[in-house]
Structure 1
Amino acid sequence: MPIQTISRLADISPLLWDALLGSDPQPFLRHAFLSSLEDSGSVGGRSGWRSQHQLLIDVQGNATAALPLYRKTNSNGEYVFDWAWADACHRAGIEYYPKLLCAVPFSPVTGARLLGDRQAAGQLLDQLSANLEEQGHSSLHVNFTEPDADTIFHGRDGWLERIGCQFHWHNRGYRDFQDFLDSLTSRKRKQLRKEREQVAGQGFDFQWREGGQVSELEWDFVYACYANTYMIRGQAPYLSRAFFSLLAERMPEAIRLVLATQGREPVAMAFSLIDGQGLYGRYWGCLAEFDRLHFETCFYQGIDQAIAAGLPRFDAGAQGEHKLIRGFEPVITRSWHYLVHPGLRAAVSEFLEQERLGVLRYAESARGALPYRQEN
């Protein structure tokens, strides 16, 4: 069956793409999200991300499978860090870039990567990996795969599995935030309550909005906060200002924004997306420093929202052992890597075996540090 390469999602129908996602698609995979990245200039140009989405077309002309795929000339914005691999290649005289990456740009969220029919998606993988060297690519990477897809990779030669660890909050049917606090040890319960009281004592209020309730002036503020988190580290932000307006226009129902105000003036924000499976905290920013405001805006407000909406989990992003003592539990993530150069593949395979043991030990140790009361 022929493969069609799509350099802009705007060139295909949103209905065609979204039909491959199933009945409850994750927002990051929807045509609206991925096309907003492209149309806003966040992807493309000098970003190091060039869209090369793959569609497998059957004899009737229907799309049976797809991959959100990018040609990468750097490793920025991936959250599965392979800079050491690229550096080793450079020192050995091996070209590591360009490479191919199947992922959602700038979003370390586990989800479907092989879209549509699984057998057909497997054919896509096989054809891509077989033609890597011919097309001048060093490797093919598939980041943050869902568990159901792992069997597809296990059954194919040459693919290397890499695991990581994130921290997610799980809703065990809590009635409200106090009910959640009651599940913690006394010491941790007091710590969380004290942190919330400290924020309230500084005169902060919090307002939740859906995407359609946010004005362009407020999106200016959101972007200023988002960009500031990068600028204070001397980095350029990945997303453009236009991305937020486009996303609010195309999928407002999936956006959740919380604004922290002090004396009616907004001072901080946390931007999230939502579906039937959970709340996904993505971007945070503040224009000044306030004690404990980050914990309240990014974590406790999100927990409140997840409980109120009856969502099973809250994924607040990739980083942070500081989430652990606030009830976020270690979760193993997976990515898959196909490397053309046999020497590189052997070296990375050995490294990943050692790394895997370390990640599993770390996750087990973290689990032992969770703040929940032990049930007798």
Structure 2
Amino acid sequence: MTSQVFTSIAAIDAEKWNALVEPGNPFMRHEFLLALEETGCIGPNLPWQPRFVVANQGDAYLGAVAAFERSDSYGEYIFDWAWANAYAEARLPYYPKITVAAPFTPASGRRLLLADAADNETLATLVHALDQTAHDLDASGIHMLCMTRDEQKDLADFGYMPRLTHQYHWLNRNFSSFDDYLSVLRAHRRKEIRRERRKCAELGLRIETLAGDAILPRHIDAIYVFYAATYARKWGSPYLNRETFHALLRRMRENLVLVIASENDREVAGSIAFRSDDRLFGRYWGASGHYPYLHFELCFYSLIEYAIREKIAIFEAGAQGEHKFQRGFTAMPVYSAHKLFDRGGSAAIGEYLRRERRATARAIHAYRSASPNKDEPQYLPEPEDR
């Protein structure tokens, strides 16, 4: 078995790469990464520089990792700015670092892509290749974000420290309709959601959910305008450009879901989500003006209706946002793993992570206990997080 590091996804066989990606993980697929690369969102001399690792035996791909050399931490959503500041105060370089993640996307899934999930030899080959890449770049460490719990456990044997954060996901409990979903909520939350939808309806907008061939280039243009306006208002420069959205339409049309609000046949707001067979991922939204309650309709309620209709099991609506919890989204653990090469830095961050894991486990338990869902399952933390 050998390993090779690629600086472009275009140089990697798309069919062989995609064969390693588990179902339900559109953001690790070749076409998603290629859309980012061909439109200048990732690539040489950019903050996300590809260092894709492939383990192969002859022509067969046995495993792969979508790794990136990073010069900052923007677009990661598992925040480590405080670590970078601590390194700077200690006069230690934190950048470059290696990040293994779906760029600009806080969606969970496998990060160590294996043809055989039980293939420990290929796993070790990928991990050692990442170590070598990090050392060749003089990187401060390696960070694997939004991974599975099984992967996190496996990486403990290679010196990675576990991290626990959380998001809010909507879980489809075999609902047959939106009213069926409302029926599991406590009375005051049912009343509030119905009031929000009624107020939104009173705006007089036409709201439609589009997927597949129903999505036209003009819809994508509108979504980009809304997205860019939201970033300009809240955070500054957007990560993606107009060409990226059109590349995603060309390459991943079957994975896109749009909710568009129109007034007098003109698009005034919209949201974009990605889907797989059993998962829905809300990503971006925006509006051309102030429309009360429209955000909840386009980003949550219409997509919940879509998930129920399509029998999608889980709807991940993105990072953060306690407003999701109030609408019946469940607090869910999110797993990451981190290796820092400086001993002092590793020890300090390791102690921080131990405290953070316990605090996060308590928070998830508290959210579950106070959930507006009447039948919310109890959260059972890992033994080391209690």
Segment drifting more, 44-53 vs 252-261: 44-53
Residue 223 (structure 1) aligned with residue 199 (structure 2): no
Q: 2:150 aligns with which of 138, 148, 151?
A: 148
Change (3 A) 1:310 1:371: same
> Is the 8 Å Cα contact of residues 261 and 267 (structure 2) preserved in structure 1?
yes
How far is 1:172 from its partner? 0.6
> Is the 8 Å Cα contact of residues 212 and 255 (structure 2) preserved in structure 1?
yes
Q: 2:110 aligns with which of 106, 112, 134?
A: 112
Change (3 A) 1:232 1:45: farther
1:106-146 C-alpha deviation (Å, 9 max, x unpaired): 00000010012442033211332256334311101100001
Residue 99 (structure 1) aligned with residue 97 (structure 2): yes
Change (3 A) 1:45 1:269: farther
How far is 1:7 from its partner? 1.2
1:19-78 C-alpha deviation (Å, 9 max, x unpaired): 1124x25111111101101111111356410011000121x2322110001000000000
How far is 1:249 from its partner? 0.8
| Count of residue pairs brought into register by the alignment | 372
> Is the 8 Å Cα contact of residues 67 and 102 (structure 1) preserved in structure 2?
yes
Report SS of the residue matched to 2:368.
helix
Fraction of identical pairs, as percent: 35
Report SS of the residue matched to 2:5.
strand
Report SS of the residue matched to 1:317.
coil
* Distance in 2 separating the partners of 1:292 and 1:46: 41
How far is 1:148 from its partner? 2.9
* Distance in 2 separating the partners of 1:56 and 1:277: 29
Report SS of the residue matched to 2:108.
coil
How far is 1:371 from its partner? 1.0
> Which residue in the other structure is 2:35 paired with?
36
* Distance in 2 separating the partners of 1:351 and 1:26: 30
Residue 351 (structure 1) aligned with residue 349 (structure 2): no
> Is the 8 Å Cα contact of residues 261 and 268 (structure 1) preserved in structure 2?
yes
> Is the 8 Å Cα contact of residues 211 and 248 (structure 1) preserved in structure 2?
no
Change (3 A) 1:286 1:47: farther
> Which residue in the other structure is 2:76 paired with?
78
How far is 1:372 from its partner? 2.1
* Distance in 2 separating the partners of 1:325 and 1:125: 40
2:127 alignment partner AA: L
2:145 alignment partner AA: N
How far is 1:211 from its partner? 4.2
Equivalent residues in 2 for 1:121-140 (5 A)?
121-129=123-131, 132-140=134-142
1:336-358 C-alpha deviation (Å, 9 max, x unpaired): 00100000000000111111121
1:287 alignment partner AA: S
* Distance in 1 separating the partners of 2:45 and 2:224: 20
Equivalent residues in 2 for 1:177-326 (5 A)?
177-326=178-327
Residue 165 (structure 1) aligned with residue 166 (structure 2): yes
Report SS of the residue matched to 1:128.
helix
* Distance in 1 separating the partners of 2:235 and 2:329: 29
* Distance in 1 separating the partners of 2:219 and 2:135: 47
Unaligned runs of 5+ in 2: 377-386
> Is the 8 Å Cα contact of residues 132 and 340 (structure 1) preserved in structure 2?
no
Report SS of the residue matched to 1:137.
coil
> Is the 8 Å Cα contact of residues 212 and 253 (structure 2) preserved in structure 1?
yes
2:99 alignment partner AA: L
Equivalent residues in 2 for 1:4-19 (5 A)?
4-19=4-19
2:18 alignment partner AA: D
How far is 1:215 from its partner? 2.3
1:243-280 C-alpha deviation (Å, 9 max, x unpaired): 11111111211111110122322111110111122111
> Is the 8 Å Cα contact of residues 211 and 258 (structure 2) preserved in structure 1?
yes
1:213 alignment partner AA: A
Report SS of the residue matched to 2:84.
helix
> Which residue in the other structure is 2:379 paired with?
none
* Distance in 1 separating the partners of 2:208 and 2:283: 17
1:63-108 C-alpha deviation (Å, 9 max, x unpaired): 2110001000000000011111111111111111111111100000
> Is the 8 Å Cα contact of residues 44 and 50 (structure 2) preserved in structure 1?
no
